[in-house]
Structure 1
């Protein structure tokens, strides 16, 4: 089928203060040196890619002492113009939620302060009219119910079981959000048997990623419906994307991978503006 790009609005945060100074996921190792300048350079390529594609990118100022703030997708979830704030599991990231919520409030958005622990679009992804909610490591399943109540949308809870894929957006990529033809890619072993069955039932035509794709965080990808930013090492996924009519664009985010994130982690989608 013919894939169609749709204009997107994103929020991003420069990795000005990026470093691995603590360990809260299996990717983080404080004994490995991080190169902040390299992280900034890689991030700038991602940022420019979106602009070259014609998308709108807003920027939030990074805050000293919050090295993971670059992972903007974790900062909130925006559905129908409503901002559902992040409420982080680990104290090291707790201040990020209010920082992102303030940016949205200052920009004129209606915000809701979450009562339940959730890590924004890290664990909440929109596919067509449905929200997929990750749980198992970071986000409380009760947050899914809270979000369903706020938005009036169906939220499907998916249980993650492999600590390497601690957020939903490390194990599943939304490739086409058209409600008539929703399309995803995911790595089955990252999910519990029940969640695998649910995904197979809902998305029988999905791309099933290989382990090689998954461990490169290849599924931490960003699609505008036709063009897909993907990790260069996710070669199997790139081939599968082409077979399904997408145009993969490899963007290197390996320095940011030291913190456990890739392109999607750096990209918060703003769905409708005030």
Structure 2
């Protein structure tokens, strides 16, 4: 009997395929090593009973990874406390797998180097400054660079916690965190997965969430006790304008017409961030000074 299939392209290398009434996610990797990495991560998570991601099927080939499509799910909304809490729960469970999986031993998982990546991100911003300043203005660019330099200097001086060293998802943008009908969050797209301290990923999660709560870090720390035990380096990470740098650098990769469209969104986004940044830095510095959270 011929198998009935229906194929929908989601992205350049991602498809949704329906095969005999069952939906699958199909992703093709140009580098077979990336497919091996993704397949192994999911296999190990499945072995230890990790509940917050889809399994990998036996379908596909060396370059193609096939997983069940996560039904009735949508990207988390970081403006909602319930979605923030559910996404943190899934990430915390992922990080806790280091107690049963020796992630550091896997040869295809690199260790996350935040300082190196963020130094490179600032350099890229500077290299593209002429284009960015044509939309944003020199004063705003100066301020972004100054905040970035101050944050990097702070990060070089505060101590980093060495352990635990675990699996990090690597890209905690909202559309990689799918909230299901039962309220749980499923993690998808482990392409940037790496190893490191959980604090690093939680700090990156905070960067994604802060714009959705008007940069009110105190609100987040009040509602989530798990944030109150972050290490000093993670607290210092709050001061680095990561989202602003990344979005403006991305703009410079686009054709001019699309640059103008995106700039209309990024200008108010950046103006609000720069307005709130002094308070965010004061909050971070207060935590660093007291070595613990003061409600």
Question: TM-score scaled by structure 2?
Answer: 0.27
Give 1 or 2 for the bigger CA radius of gyration.
2
- Greater RCO (Cα-Cα under 8 Å, separation 6 or more): 1
Question: Greater helix percent: which structure?
Answer: 2
TM-score (structure 1 length as normaliser): 0.28
Greater fraction of residues in strand: 1
